[in-house]
Structures are given as structure tokens and as C-alpha cells.
Structure 1
Amino acid sequence: MEAPPLQRKLAAILAADVEGYSRLMHIDEERTLAMLTSHRTIVDALIESADGKIFGTAGDSVLAEFPSVVQAVNCAIAIQIAIARANVNIPVENRMTFRMGINVGDVMVKNGDIFGDGVNIAARLETLSDIGGICVTRGVRDHIRDRVEVIFEDMGEHSVKNIARPVRVFKVVFDESYHPILSAARQIDTPGTDITLVAENDPTEVAFWESIREDDDGTELRLYLERYPNGTFSDLAVARLDREPTPVDDPAVEVTFWESVRDSENVAMIRAYIEQYPEGKFLSLAKILVEQKAS
């Protein structure tokens, strides 16, 4: 058989990984999977809006390429700001944060995957960044100097695994009030956790999920995955299918439901929580939110 064509090109590569993912999974697998799904909804939407293309999404990692270095850096900043805002009401020990690295270099594309030193360097930079931070190479810094409203702190040269020469690394320092332009065609505003790029959770999907939470043989979970293969609770559904049946009164289900509706502008979704959990742990807050949104 003829080998698939190998394409080489110059690209801006963003690599991201969840900090402390194994620790979060050890503490509460279901809550962590639900939060990862929620955060990835934000991340994926911002990458798409910056004209980026996602290549790798294994576990808690993200790998994307961009046609512009400026768009890659602006997208990374937008993601870190949005995730920080999404974490505001979550206890510090349960927050899910990302480290990010960006490189510009020659990459190879084959069979729908991307690889090469350009990708490897971006992945190594991610491990050098602060929690919630971004690290870039000197090439990235030189490309966007004076074109993005950030400060670059020189971290010196670092020897990274499987790369022959040391890499000059810079930390990106940005203000949380900065509104990055993600696309040449439009500016994306990220004023709060209810990011306009991210569609609100479908009330029908939430209602469907709640109706099957007592599934004891996996039949309805599989039906949910068939109807919503990329749904808000798809990772959670897959995890449950791989485990023993979940108790009917499992508090993790209530937490997941609440986290899926608490930031919604749709009052009906918050009322759905009140009806489902008349003695729920978030009942008082839910009633306050309903009153605020109704006024």
C-alpha cells in the first residue's frame, strides 16, 4: 500500500495540560471528569474561535496548531483568563488549572496527527510554566513583540528532553482585564464565566441526564451517549459504565448537576435543580440566583 503523504509546514503550536490531574482523580473521579468536560468546552471553543485546529486531546492534555503566532498567544491568554474565572466559586483544592507552552517551528502532519520537534518543544515548555501560566520560546517572543499587550520575563536557557540544543524560555505575564483578539475577523470578549462563545448547556440534555441517573444496568447511559456523544456528561457516563452501579443518592450526581447549571442565564435550568433536589445542599443559593435573575 502507498504510504500516506507527509506534510511539513511552519506552525504555532500550543500544548496544555491539567496541573495535578492525577491528584484530582484520586480525590473524586466523577467530579474531576465532569469539571474536565466543562473546562474543555471553554478551551475548545476558544481554540476554534482563534482559527486553531485541535490535534491531541488524550486525557487531560490539549495540543493545537494555529496559523498565526499572535492568535496562538492570544488564545492561550483567553483560555487562562476564562478558566480562572470559571474556578472562582470552586474550592481551591478542587480547582482545575492548566499549564501551557507555545512554540513556533517546523512540524510534520500525517494521518491527521502532528508531530516533530516543533511539537515536542511546546510540550516541554508546558511543564516549565506556572500553574495557570504560559511559557513561550524566543522565536514566539520575537514574532509577537509589541503586537500583544503582555510582558515577557526571560527565564534563561533550559535543556529539555530529547532536544539537542538548550531552549530559551520566556514567561508570559498578562493582565486579567486584557481582552485578546482571537481572530482577524472578530474580537472575542470573555467578561465572565458564562463565556458567550460557549453554548449554554442544553436544558433538554440536562433533563435527560437527570432522568437516567438511577440507571442500574447501563442501558440508559448508553442511550445518553448515543444521543449526546459529545455531551456535557459524556465522560461521566463512560466512567460509570466502567464502574459498579452508582447509588441513587450519590452526592456526586447532585454536585455535577449543580455545576452544570449554576452559571447559566437560563432560569429554568436552576429551577430544574430546585425541583429535583428540594433538600439539596445548594438549595439556598439556587433560590437566591432565581430571585436575582428574575428581578
Structure 2
Amino acid sequence: MPSPLFRVVVYAARDGQVAPAAAVKSPAHALADRRSIAVLPFTNITRDPEQEYFADGMVEDITTALARTGQFFVIARNSSFVYKGRAVDIKQVGRELGVRYVLEGSVRKAGSQIRISGQLIEAESGSHIWADSFDGALENVFDLQDRITENVVWAIVPSVERAEIEL
């Protein structure tokens, strides 16, 4: 059997990485391969600049906690934060980031009390999977963030499992 004189390998470049074309997956493949989620920057409804730090910290804590569960392919905080301060179309965000689920939320303050609201949305259809709000005192902000993060993550995981059973 004659041996080939040469071999052609096609390479693809994406996000600054080069790989054989067969090994490159589009973001849409993340949808089929694993549960995928992006946590968008929370909206600071109070317009108090001090609450921007709190809102950003909540997003970072939730993103980290979701990644630790091992249940999701979680989009990095820096990728999600390109949407900060912008009105977004969740369906478009899902396509651009290659995720099936998007968590969005808001932070508002009244005196020493704070309320964080969150909604988990299935990106392709735009339908809400889960929504809730959490109240607390700002006296110990880290304890409050930890409690809210734990509640959000423990609510999201079973909500996604139920949603995927219904699909």
C-alpha cells in the first residue's frame, strides 16, 4: 500500500488559541455538553455607589460557589461583566456566551436593610426557572453575602434539574 506523500491539517484560531479544526468547539456546544450558566452583574437599584461593591461582590461569590458545585460550566466573571450597566436581551446573552441559563439580579437598600433579588432564566426561551428575594441587615456584610450566596446556589441546582427533566 503506498504511503501518502503529505498530510493536510486544518487549524482554527479562536479567542487567541490555535488548535486543529476538529478539536475546536463553538460556544453552542457548551449547551449540549454540560449545564452552563452565566451570572450577570446585579443592578444597583439604589444608585448608591457604595452598593456597587456589594452587588459586584454578590456576583463574584455566586459565580465562585456555582463553579465549586461541579454541576455547571460557569462563565467567568470577567466575561459576564461586559454586560454591566447595559440593558440586555437574555436570549442574545445566552447565544453570545454559549450558556443555557442566565442568572440576573438586583440590589436595593433602605436604611441598614438590603434586598437582593435574583432570577434564573433559561436563555433560549427566555422563561423564568426560578426567582426569589433575600433580605438582611448590612451590619455584617460578609455573613449576609455568604448566606445569600448559599441560598441562591442551593435553590438554583434543583431548579435546573427540574427544568431539564421537563425539557
Fold in common (TM above 0.5): no
TM-score (norm 1): 0.25
Whose Rg is larger?
A: 1
TM-score (norm 2): 0.39
| Structure (1/2) with the larger strand percentage | 2
